[in-house]
Amino acid sequence: MSSNQVSLVEAVRLAALQEMRRDPTVWVLGEDVARGGLYGQYKDFLPEFGAERVVSTPISESTIMGAGLGAALVGTRPIIEMRIFDFVMCAMDELVNQIAKIRYMFGGQAKPSVVIRMPHGIWRNSAAQHSQTLESWFVHLPGVIVVTPSTPADAAGLLVTAIRSDDPVLFFDPKNLFPITGEVASVIEPIPFGKARRVREGRDLTLVSWSAIMPAVEQAAAKLAAEGISVDLLDLRTLWPWDRDAVCASVEKTGRLLVVHEAVEAAGFGAEVVASVVEDLGPARIRAACRLGAPRIPVPFAPPLEDAVKVTPDKIVAAARATMR
């Protein structure tokens, strides 16, 4: 199978394009999608699919979310575009009380087969209302799948899986990684939810992360390797379901765990990973289990302050050294 070197934003564009060509019930709605989307993720969709399948909406997130759910319930597969994650807060009732619960409350007769795309995370100088990383909110929400890719190939394959899913999928596009490039197959195959990607093999420390922070984590792992610390690095790719077995197997080998995320450390998903591993393996089989996240403050606008709150490779290296002591 042939492949191409493309950016992450082009990878998800190709995945959506493939699925809309394959299945006429797939369509997209959201602000500016007919113009190609805020990041170009729907570029040239309107000429091919027309205004009935590429629907630019008014600026009303609750309307967008509710319309997508209604369309799913009558047999279509909408891609609901939120433009920036922070805007989903304007549609929380439709998401939390309707989309996440309707399949359960109707005894499985209703299929809310929607993909809600929410580009999230720090984006340079976007300030507190456009830079949030709140994936742990939605892991806590029964009824939804939470997807957090970090590479072009994973983003494309996971988006294909999401579009074909009968369950609602929250797809956290890592907007800060949209420019990065990688190999993506010409025919994009679905990647199963709940399967971590092993980035590098190691014996001394299990390092777990996901989404936009992964490049920083990989840099830290390389620096640690140069210091003689062998890192077993896992990218979870999805937070619900998540690959608990792979993480536990790695920690059983290394004896030490460090979970790193861009989100605020307090009540972040790292705490869930650490607690789960301790429960499964027991404290006697773990020498150290730690987490690293951002401080519990809004993301500042000023570049020096934004830099100060970011989880950086140097901070990850320092946390790893502390975990090894």
The string of DSSP letters for 194-232 reads T--EEEE--SSEEEEE-GGGHHHHHHHHHHHHHTT--EE
**Cβ contacts of 94 within 8 Å, gap of 6 or more:** 62, 65, 66, 69
Contact in structure between 277 and 247 (CB atoms under 8 Å):
yes
Give yes or no for a cis peptide into 241 (omega within 30° of 0).
yes
pLDDT given for residue 167 in this prediction: 97
Mean pLDDT of the chain: 97
In the beta sheet, which residues pair with residue 198? 234
Q: Is the pLDDT score of 301 beyond 80?
A: yes
Question: Average pLDDT for residues 113-118, to the nearest whole number?
Answer: 98
Q: Is residue 2 very low, low, confident or very high in pLDDT (cuts 50, 70, 90)?
A: confident
Question: Greatest CA separation found in the chain?
Answer: 61
Per the DSSP assignment, residues forming a β-bridge with 294 are 264
Name the H helices within 237-268: 244-254
DSSP letter, residue 120 = B
Question: What is the mean predicted confidence (pLDDT) over 267-294?
Answer: 97
Task: Render pLDDT for 168-210 as a digit per residue (tens, 0 to 9).
Answer: 999 999 999 999 999 999 999 999 999 999 999 999 999 999 9
* Among candidate residues 151, 148, 80, the one with its CA nearest the CA of residue 113: 80
- pLDDT of 1 > 80? The answer is no
pTM given for the model:
0.97
In tens, the pLDDT along 83-94 reads 999 999 999 999
Alpha-carbon gap, residue 187 to 245, rounded angstroms? 29
According to the model, what pLDDT value does residue 272 have? 98
Look at residue 124 in the predicted model and tell me its pLDDT. Answer: 87
How far, in Å, CA of 6 to CA of 70, rounded?
34
Catalytic residue status for 140: no
Which three-class secondary structure state does DSSP give residue 158? helix
Segment holding 206, helix H or strand E: strand 205-209
Residue 198: both structure tokens together: 């092993």
Encoded tokens for 216: 């920083």
Give the separation between CA 277 and CA 286, rounded to whole angstroms: 9
Written as six digits, the tokens of 74 are: 């009558």
In whole angstroms, what is the distance from residue 225 CA to residue 102 CA? 48
Q: What is the pLDDT of residue 27?
A: 98
Tokens of 151: 């590479």
Q: Which of 311, 301, 302 is nearest to 265 (CA)?
A: 311
Tokens (6 digits) for 257: 């765990």
Average pLDDT over residues 66-78: 98
From 120, 130, 140, 261, the catalytic residue: 130
Please, are residues 290 and 259 in contact by the beta-carbon 8 Å criterion?
yes
Q: Which domains does the chain have, with CATH numbers?
A: 3-185 (3.40.50.970), 197-324 (3.40.50.920)
For helices 269-281 and 244-254, the axis angle rounded to 10 degrees is 60
Res 295: pLDDT: 97
Q: In 226-310, at which residue ranges do the beta strands (DSSP E only) sit?
A: 231-235, 238-240, 256-264, 288-294
**123 falls in which pLDDT band (50, 70, 90)?**
confident
State the angle between helix axes of 152-164 and 8-22 in degrees (0 to 180), rounded to the nearest 10. Answer: 30
- Determine the Cα–Cα distance for residues 169 and 190; give it in Å rounded to an integer: 14
CA torsion 34-35-39-41 (nearest 10°) is: 40
The arithmetic mean of pLDDT across residues 292-309, rounded, is 96
- Cα–Cα distance for residue pair 107/94, rounded to 1 Å: 19
Summarised one tens digit per residue, pLDDT across range 156-173 is: 999 999 999 999 999 999
- Reported as a pLDDT band with limits 50, 70 and 90, residue 3 is confident
